[in-house]
Amino acid sequence: MALQVRLKEGDPRFYNTNRDLAFCWPSMATEVVKLLSSGRWDHIKTYLAENGVSDEEVGKACDAYCTFMSSATKNESSPSPQSHLRLMGPQMKKAGWFDVRPEAQIAFMAMLGNVATGMAWYSVREATFGDMEHVEYRHLQTAGRRAYLALSVPRWYRGLYLRLHQWFKGARLWLSRKSRVSCT
């Protein structure tokens, strides 16, 4: 059970740090719609023009996505966390997301990623005091480096690289446990 807080008197919703995305997502999606409508990201404009995607098709993607996300508020029952994944596909279909051209979907999701990254970066800066370093973000940096190393080698070598990496990680763990046992 996580800590839950009521943000405003009279607001029956609870804020929970594990669900804070639910509170900021509507403003993020609205910002995406506004940015796509104004055509402010040149890479997206070029991508859409090269693929012959009209403004109407982008509008359909915006409408379908916002309808899909809004459908999450109509939760008639309390399904298990695993069943949420089974509900997503039918809800996306019902909202018309799969009727939209993939290029329009990609444009929407790229803009959403751009907005989410901007908001996350701002939030991390706001939540960090002075030179305080978050351990989670050091791990994130390591994961990024690993992804770069894995993706910068030929495809045939990636599986081998990842298996060897896991093997060496396991060997290091085994050796560290063995050295602790032998010292006592």
- Domain ranges, residue 181: 134-184
Q: Which of 107, 99, 102 is nearest to 47 (CA)?
A: 107
Q: In angstroms, rounded to a whole number, what is the distance separating the alpha carbons of residues 119 and 126?
A: 10
Task: Tell whether 28 and 100 lie within a shared domain.
Answer: yes
Q: In angstroms, rounded to a whole number, what is the distance separating the alpha carbons of residues 184 and 119?
A: 50
Phi, psi of 4 (to 5 degrees): -125, 145
Task: Tell whether 64 and 15 lie within a shared domain.
Answer: yes
Question: pLDDT by residue (tens digit) across 26-74?
Answer: 888 899 989 988 888 889 999 999 999 999 999 999 999 999 998 887 7
Q: Which one of 115, 132, 149 terminates a domain?
A: 132
**Band of the pLDDT at 16, cuts 50, 70, 90?**
low
Question: pLDDT by residue (tens digit) across 145-184?
Answer: 888 887 887 877 777 777 777 887 888 878 777 666 555 4
Task: Tell whether 98 and 183 lie within a shared domain.
Answer: no
Instruction: Give how many domains the chain has, as a whole number.
Output: 2
Question: pLDDT by residue (tens digit) across 94-108?
Answer: 999 999 999 999 999
pLDDT of residue 145: 87
Task: Tell whether 97 and 179 lie within a shared domain.
Answer: no
pLDDT of residue 1: 46
Task: Tell whether 32 and 70 lie within a shared domain.
Answer: yes
Note the Cα 57 to chain centre separation in Å: 23
Task: Tell whether 37 and 91 lie within a shared domain.
Answer: yes
